[in-house]
Amino acid sequence: MNLPNKLTAIRLILAIPFIYFLQESSVGSNGEMYRLIAFAIFMFASLTDWLDGYIARKYNLITDLGKIMDPLADKILVISALVIFVKLDYIPSWMSIVVIAREFLISGIRTIAAAKGEVIPAGMLGKYKTTTQMIVIMIMLVFGLGKTPSNAEFYKNLYFYLTLIPVVLTVWSGWEYSVKAKHYFLNEN
C-alpha cells in the first residue's frame, strides 16, 4: 500500500473517534471540549485528504484502490457529521438526505462501472462539493450553536444557508456525474 492510500486508511480510521466525540459533544459538561476534539480530528482528516491527493498526483502514485477509497473516506466523514448535525438540530434532515441520496447514486454508478472494468475518479465539481462540505462542517464544529439560547437561532440560520452551498453543489455534481454515466443505463449489456 503506497503512502497516499495509507493516508486514506488513516482518514477512515479517524472517522471512529470523530463520530464518538461529535456525538458526545451534546452531552454533559464536557460537550465543548468534545466538540473541539471532534474539530481537531476532522481538521486533521481533511488535511490528509488534501495531502494524499497531492502526493498521489506529484509522484504518480494514483491507484484504482485510491480512486475508490479516497472518495469513500470523504463520504464517511461528511455523512457522519451531517447525520449528527441533524440530531443536534444544527441543520434540517432533508439536507442530509439529499447528500446521502447523491452518494448512493454515485456509488451505484461506480459499482456498475467497476463491473465493466472501469474506475471513475471524482470530477472537479465533486471535489468542490467535498471541499465546501468540509469547510462548512469545520465552521459548525468551531462555533456549535452558540453560547446562549438567544444566539442559537442565529447560528441555526447561518448553518442552514452555509450548508445550502454544498447541498447545491451536491445536486449539481450528482447531475453532472449521472449525465456523464448515462451510457451505463442506456446500454444494459
The sign of the torsion formed by the CA atoms of 110, 99, 169, 63 equals: negative
**pLDDT, tens digit, for every residue of 41-53?**
999 999 999 999 8
The answer, yes or no, to whether residue 176 has pLDDT greater than 80, is yes
Count Cα atoms within 13 angstroms, Cβ side, for 27: 7
Average predicted confidence (pLDDT) for the chain: 90
Fold topology of 3-186: Four Helix Bundle (Hemerythrin (Met), subunit A) (1.20.120)
Count of C-beta atoms within a 10 Å radius of residue 138: 15
Whether pLDDT at 87 is above 60: yes
Residues 14-48: pLDDT tens digits? 999 999 999 998 887 898 899 999 999 999 999 99
> Distance of alpha carbon 91 from its chain centroid, rounded?
15
Are 182 and 120 in contact, with CB atoms under 8 Å apart?
no
